[in-house]
A and B are shown apart, each in its own frame.
Chain A
């Protein structure tokens, strides 16, 4: 039963509101609600309104059924957001045309300073697309027949995607067979940049399809894509595959390299800090030296009588084949003997990054020298004697 008019109950209109579910005030009144529609990925183009009459009780009705928003409502929100953005830009004295989302966030943080610890409870102003969850349009027509041929599978976008992908696979294999029959098929080595990107994860796929998937569904889909990768694809298939890949950062680029400084005598040196458990160390590594290490003014042989700690100090130098070539002066405090050694090792490794090539920095990172060890002492829990040890079990 299609009806043209939409009657929404009094929803709060906001240009600026707090993130979370929209809470409709409970009412004891019979009210008409309109089911929400938004166009979906797989293209049921026509969105229809459907009236449902809901009798409210004292319970919070909104919590019982999923929030549904009409297209007009969302459009109105977007218009209000854009107007509000321009007002905000004027308020802050900036150009409304070039007011980006980061500017909006900064402006809101300035105008509404909040001391709340929960970041999600703080005031935000974002585009309605990010706030309101994506929803599917009504999938069937006036006569009740669904538009999509896979509607009764329950996950129509997922299965139609699998169907398309498999169709492409079959086409490629047929093409390959034809070429092989004619003798024109040539095995080309694929040099695709597989390292710099990854397949999208299950959450991202769910977001794309606006449907809930199971882990097995997702794995099956990835397997199909991997199979497609092994075949020679044309440009269209390449594009199809690329739409499911996301880029991955090269980790070594994130490493901060200290600049080399020069002291009064003109000696080149580099300073860095390191931490391990509760020990903090600061190391000054000189570029030219004879392998002397001074810790808190004391020679390292006297400060660390245990061999293991001295091995840890030697580790970065030995790894880079620069054992007797640098002098180190460091200060360390806190922690125990092993924690101090670990802190100095990290500080020395970070300081050495400034004297060494980028490739060697990456090697150090892969050897685990540049990662701060996040392990800390596990807390004692109530009802147990220690972190893991339980009290003696008594039968009675």
Chain B
């Protein structure tokens, strides 16, 4: 009952034509609003709206440095409608898209304040631990110790990314785990997801999230720890199921 209501709800909304308002070059946008298909997920922006470009340096570049394509793109953007910048995005230099994504994934129940404070405490904890190690180490080792928490975070998550994944495919009434190449986005997502799940479940009851997460990040940075082990398990399973690789049709 619910689903039919939703599709009926969608139909009159689709008919509110946003107008033949200035479409840019290209035919693709007309295909999105075919009258035969009823869209169930819709957004308040029309299909002609483009994502905003928040980076300051993009605009400050002098015209002489741009290629023909970039100049054309610049001119084209002047005719396009742009969406509003979301509340999390600023032009600040301190903003990192990966950190923002990770914070959102850590967030529970819409409590962004808490998630963000946990994230900053984690980075602080990582930095403190690294500085302690730095001061305790000899001068040759000091050169090898990385103290920037952002590089540690990025490198740790990159180390956790699996190369190949498993997908359950239904064939002959049974589900087989078939090895499948993963896209970049999926890999990043899996790395972050495993990290968060690991930190939530496998910790001592009284230990706080920043403490546990900083520990896991440092271990992953050195290619050790439970998240890396999970990645290797995934690779081994994929290797074991190699024979099923031909079940993939895409």
Contacts and interface: CB of A to CB of B under 8 A. Distances in A.
B207 interface: no
Interface string B49-78: 000111010010000000000001001111
A381 B85 CA distance: 28
Contacts of A312: 87, 90
Nearest to B53: A366
A341 B20 contact: no
A102 interface: no
Nearest to A365: B82
A195 B79 contact: yes
Interface in A190-219: 194-196, 198-199, 201-204, 215, 218-219
B27 interface: yes
Contact of B76 (A195, A311, A321, A362): A195
12 contacts: A215-B30, A219-B27, A248-B79, A312-B87, A342-B87, A366-B77, A367-B82, A369-B84, A374-B44, A374-B45, A381-B5, A381-B6
Contacts of A356: none
Interface string B20-46: 101111010011001000000001110
Contact of B78 (A215, A341, A362, A368): A362
A372 B2 contact: no
Given A365-B82, A376-B44, A384 B2 contact: yes
Contacts of B2: 381, 383-384, 390-391
Contacts of A203: 20
Chain A residues touching B, range: 35 or more
B78 A250 contact: yes
A368 B85 contact: yes
Contacts of B90: 311-312, 314-315, 318
Interface string B78-105: 1111111101101110000000000000
A179 B9 CA distance: 61
Nearest to A391: B2
Given A248-B22, A312-B90, A366 B82 contact: yes
Nearest to B3: A390
A180 interface: no
Contacts of B112: 308
A218 B31 CA distance: 11
Interface of A: 194-196, 198-199, 201-204, 215, 218-219, 222, 248-252, 306-308, 311-312, 314-315, 318-319, 321, 338, 341-342, 346, 362-363, 365-369, 371-376, 381-384, 390-391
Nearest to B42: A378
The 5 closest A-B pairs by CB, nearest first: A368-B52, A368-B85, A373-B84, A371-B84, A374-B44
Contacts of B84: 346, 368-369, 371-374
B82 A368 contact: yes
Contacts of B79: 195-196, 248-251
Nearest to A247: B22
A352 B85 CA distance: 17
B78 A375 contact: no
Contacts of A376: 44
Contact of A249 (B1, B22, B75, B91): B22
Contacts of A215: 30-31, 34
Residue of A198, A202, A222 contacting most chain B CB atoms (<10 Å): A198
A341 B87 contact: yes
